[in-house]
A and B are shown apart, each in its own frame.
Chain A
């Protein structure tokens, strides 16, 4: 709790208390804590003098501001048309098998959240996915197994 308070203060000091700085502040929290917890949103409300409902309303509008999925690594697989044509379903199946979760869920221990997303702007190299800020393209089930294997081994 105290940590969240500090973090929010730091961010609000950095960006400013005006409403226009809400997205940078929320993103700053997200980067540090993997998602927006209830406490964090309340703290932002307090420090930026906004209503909590408005903050939640704003956060829940954006797909990269998670209020639920709280895995350390967020895997976002593109589900838009050309990636679907290139075999996105197989990629999802492979990931679900490996992580033992369904799309939208987070693994035990909060390591991975598996999510679908719309076009990543890598359509010439689909199927594509994003793991946090890293992107991976021209995926095949074998390639996915390798990439994820490395995450599981090295970056746990």
Chain B
């Protein structure tokens, strides 16, 4: 485990500084394999949470034989404590769209969608303005790739890529069985690349800077820079771009209010790290990289925090699979029962085991990741759960 000092950087939000769509144009002058290889070399991983290597995903998509492929930008940003995608779409939509277009050009897709969460409807006209510019460019450059906005309708689970696709097909956003993955069998059964907003913007920057330059940022484990949505008990709430690989201690010192007792890393699907582990925790290693960091100071009841999370899960679970639908309710009712002394403290251990069953057996990432926050809070703040 190696970590580097906390360092603010300015890659993703840096001014575009070249003519519109110049980066895309330059990419298109190279060979497709070369561009994909550049992405692979850069070490860029998905910024939507799962952290899959982006270059590899594109490579697989490129290898698929199909008359039609799709590129989807996942702008369903619903993880509590995350708002960086919104900021990207407001401030640098061109980088996001360029990333989609580079991807489409490289993998051979002719149709793209931005799946925009319903809550962000007010961004539509702003994004459409940029899309107009893009389509003009694409026409001139002879790039056959059109992008449309698809409006979500209010469901966190639609951020999960297969649920997102179901939703685009006019159905309930219930995650699919995997395999097959979208890369093989995605939107309307065709190979589909789904990437996060930030992933596309970062891909654009990789193309601009070159893999070697990009790789200089971060550690061996995690390359590049990343946006962090910081909220909670912090005097510096907002989106900050940081080089990857810093310790949580540095982070809390920089962004906490001096009284930080725990940080939730990776949104409610991530881990809740107590102060005593700040030193040994590197953000993004072994925890998720969605970039939501919520800071709690000593006045906060971790019982209330967990209760709020569990209520969120029980409501936002799609409800199709047993462990997640029933498990989330059990965990919620369970901590209530312990708190109100209807169940003994040992019941918490039973619940931790249940959360593990949910991890092992749930169909998608939602049910699988409930244990992250649940177990980390229950283990580290056990007294707060009981008294």
Contacts and interface: CB of A to CB of B under 8 A. Distances in A.
Interface of A: 18-24, 26-27, 57-58, 61-65, 79-82, 84-85, 117-126, 130, 133-135
Contacts of B78: 118-119, 121
B120 A121 contact: yes
Given A81-B294, A124-B229, A118 B156 contact: yes
A144 B80 CA distance: 23
B154 A82 contact: no
B119 A121 contact: yes
A82 B308 CA distance: 10
Interface of B: 77-83, 85-86, 117-122, 150-156, 167-173, 188, 229-233, 237-239, 264, 268, 294, 296, 300, 304-305, 308-309, 312, 315-316, 318
A122 B80 contact: no
A19 B78 CA distance: 25
Contacts of A126: 231
B309 A124 contact: no
A61 B173 contact: yes
A78 to B, nearest CB: 9
Nearest to A66: B154
Given A23-B167, A123-B229, A63 B154 contact: yes
B308 A80 contact: yes
Given A23-B151, A82-B231, A130-B119, A119 B80 contact: yes
Nearest to B171: A58
Given A19-B169, A126-B231, A120 B155 contact: no
A20 B229 CA distance: 33
Contact of B117 (A61, A82, A84, A121): A121
**Max chain A CB contacts within 10 Å: which of B120, B154, B230?**
B154
Contacts of A130: 119
B172 A133 contact: no
Contacts of B231: 82, 123-124, 126
A26 B153 contact: yes
A82 B67 CA distance: 46
A61 B319 CA distance: 10
A118 B308 CA distance: 10
14 contacts: A19-B169, A20-B169, A63-B153, A64-B118, A64-B153, A84-B304, A84-B308, A119-B81, A123-B80, A123-B81, A123-B229, A124-B229, A124-B230, A124-B239
A79 B169 CA distance: 29
Contacts of A18: 170
Contacts of B121: 133
A45 to B, nearest CB: 13
A18 B187 CA distance: 14
A19 B170 contact: yes
A81 B154 contact: no
Contacts of B300: 85
Contacts of B77: 121
Contacts of B229: 123-124
**Max chain B CB contacts within 10 Å: which of A24, A120, A125?**
A120
B153 A27 contact: yes
Nearest to A61: B172
Nearest to B78: A119
